[in-house]
């Protein structure tokens, strides 16, 4: 276990490819609650009550109150030094860099990241709970009926279909295209015989399939790092574990301390 002051930069050789996976911990120093641990989101609202399709079918207003609270919280904060360092690393590495986030708060995009996969969707998009229309930008804060509904379903005479946050709930599949971007990036590294590095930041490694990416990367020959405030249950899966706050550790790992 490495301490923040002992952090040495990742060995980012000219041809190295870097995939970074982030979780709620990278947004903690911006002021957003994480999911697990003291004061976590899921303590206040049990997952099965607010982040499953059944919960939405049972009580859509309650689910919208939960997500409207999260939109309000995310709207009130800004990216931190760890978000900005990752955006700078992308600018320097280009297509040899890919950022994959489990977060739905929009802070990576706000920091300038573009080579970004929002694996679990985004707070800032909505979609219809019935028809297959693509997700679209939405910044409203519904908290009680009448809840926002799909104008296309109404126009097609299919009655009221509620809109829902365009996030991936438990029991829902991740977007196949997003998953392919992750596996394609990692396997291309092997084809090019380029050094492959995998860095996870601020995640407890409890939610799948994201929690399994470190093992997939290792099977492809990647060297793996975890930067986390505390040692999570899946720390054993990483070659290197750096214990510390993301704003202290991430810039140093990327060789961007004080950039
Ligand atoms: C699916 C979106 C299949 C909404 C979320 C095995 C294989 C496949 C699936 C499963 C499996 N086992 C179980 C499953 C089912 C399930 C699952 O993984 N359950 C878990 C609980 C066991 N997975 C699914 O349901 C997935 N779907 O598999 O579908 C399928 C296939 C075909 C057809 C039908 C179905 C969908 C999972 C996505 C769920 N949606 N979020 C929303 O955000 O509201 S998950 C939710 O958890 C968030 O996205 C969050 O990001 C994510 C993971 O949590 P973390 O980010 O890690 O956050 P956490 O609080 O846990 O940890 C934060 C860490 O940061 C801590 O360790 C802390 O120490 C650290 N930290 C704190 N401060 C700092 C810090 N670190 C650094 N600096 C700091 N300052």
Q: What is the CATH number of the domain that holds 42?
A: 3.30.1600.10
Distance from the CA of 105 to the center of ligand 1, in angstroms?
Answer: 14
Of 183, 259, 228, 250, residue with least CA distance to 10: 250
Task: Please report which confidence band the pLDDT of residue 197 belongs to, taking 50, 70 and 90 as the band edges.
Answer: very high
Mark whether 23 and 130 lie in a shared domain.
Answer: no
Average pLDDT value over all residues in the chain? 94
Mutational test site, ligand 1, from 118, 170, 247, max ligand atoms within 8 Å of CB? 170
CATH number of the domain enclosing 180 = 3.40.50.1220
240 is catalytic: no
The whole-number average pLDDT for the span 53-60 is 96
Judge if 14 and 62 occupy the same domain.
no
Same domain as 55, residue 4:
no
Residue 38: pLDDT band (50, 70, 90) is low
Considering the domain architecture, whether residues 90 and 21 belong to the same structural domain is answered as yes
For the stretch 1-20, pLDDT in tens is 677 778 899 999 889 999 99
- From 167, 193, 228, the end of a domain falls on 167
Using the predicted structure, report yes or no on whether residue 191 has a pLDDT greater than 90. Answer: no
pLDDT score recorded for residue 153: 96
pLDDT at residue 43 greater than cutoff 80: no
Tokens representing residue 71 in the block: 């939109």
Q: What is the pLDDT of residue 118?
A: 98
Among residues 244, 187, 255, 173, which one has the least CA distance to residue 19?
Answer: 187
The residue with greater pLDDT, 257 or 247, is 247
Say how many domains are in the chain. 2
**Which atom in ligand 1 lies closest to the alpha carbon of residue 50?**
44
- Pocket lining: 28 vs ligand 1, CB cutoff 6 Å: yes
Let me know whether 192 and 234 are in one domain: yes
The residue-averaged pLDDT of 144-155 equals: 95
Query: In this structure, are 110 and 180 located in the same domain?
Result: yes
Q: For ligand 1, say whether the CB of 147 is within 6 Å of any of its atoms.
A: no
Structure tokens at 111: 């920091």
Chain-centre distance of CA 250, in angstroms?
16
What is the residue range of 39's domain?
33-76+126-167
Check residue 193 and give its pLDDT: 80
Of 167, 189, 223, which closes a domain? 167
The reply to whether 108 and 194 lie within a common domain is yes
Shared domain check, 208 and 161: no
**Mean pLDDT for the stretch of residues 166-185:** 97
> What tokens does 178 get?
């997003």
Within 10 angstroms of residue 88's Cβ, the number of other Cβ atoms is: 17
- The two beta strands, 163-167 and 17-22, are unpaired
Q: From edge to edge, which strands make up the β-sheet containing 163-167? A: 136-137, 121-128, 163-167
Output the pLDDT for position 186: 94
Give the residue whose CA is nearest to atom 33 of ligand 1. 173
Task: State residue 219's pLDDT score.
Answer: 95
- Write the DSSP symbol of residue 131: S
Q: Are residues 39 and 28 in the same domain?
A: no
Selecting among 83, 120, 193, 240, the annotated active-site residue is 120
* 39 shares its domain with 87: no
Range 45-65 average pLDDT: 92
Phi–psi pair at 169, nearest 5 degrees: -90, 165
pLDDT over 70, % of the chain: 98
Examine the fold and report which residue of 135, 152, 167 is the final residue of a domain before the chain moves on: 167
Tens digit of each residue's pLDDT (9 = 90 or more) over 72-116: 999 999 999 999 999 999 999 999 999 999 999 999 999 999 999
163 and 97 share one domain = no
142 and 226 together in one domain: no
| Inter-residue contact 148 to 126 (CB < 8 Å) | yes
Label residue 136 by pLDDT band (50, 70, 90): very high
């Amino acid at each position: 276990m490495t301490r923040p002051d002992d952090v040495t930069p990742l060995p980012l050789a000219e041809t190295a490819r870097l995939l970074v996976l982030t979780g709620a911990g990278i947004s903690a120093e911006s002021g957003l609650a994480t999911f697990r641990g003291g004061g976590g989101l899921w303590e206040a609202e049990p997952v099965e009550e607010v982040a499953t399709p059944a919960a939405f079918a049972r009580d859509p207003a309650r689910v919208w109150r939960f997500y409207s609270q999260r939109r309000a919280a995310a709207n009130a904060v800004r990216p931190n030094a760890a978000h900005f360092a990752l955006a700078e690393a992308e600018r320097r590495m280009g297509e040899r860099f890919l950022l994959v986030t489990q977060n739905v708060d929009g802070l990576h995009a706000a920091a300038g990241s573009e080579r970004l996969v929002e694996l679990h969707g985004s707070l800032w998009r909505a979609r219809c709970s019935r028809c297959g229309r693509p997700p679209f930008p939405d910044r409203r804060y519904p908290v009680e009926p009448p809840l926002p509904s799909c104008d296309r379903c109404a126009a097609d005479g299919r009655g009221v279909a509620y809109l829902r946050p365009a996030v991936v709930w438990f029991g829902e599949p991740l977007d196949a295209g997003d998953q392919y971007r992750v596996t394609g990036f990692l396997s291309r590294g092997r084809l090019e015989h380029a050094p492959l590095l995998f860095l996870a930041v601020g995640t407890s490694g409890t939610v799948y399939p994201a929690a399994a990416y470190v093992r997939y990367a290792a099977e492809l020959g990647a060297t793996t790092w975890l930067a986390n405030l505390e040692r999570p249950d899946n720390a054993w899966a990483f070659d290197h574990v750096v214990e510390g706050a993301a704003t202290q550790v991430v810039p140093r790992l990327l060789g961007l301390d004080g950039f």
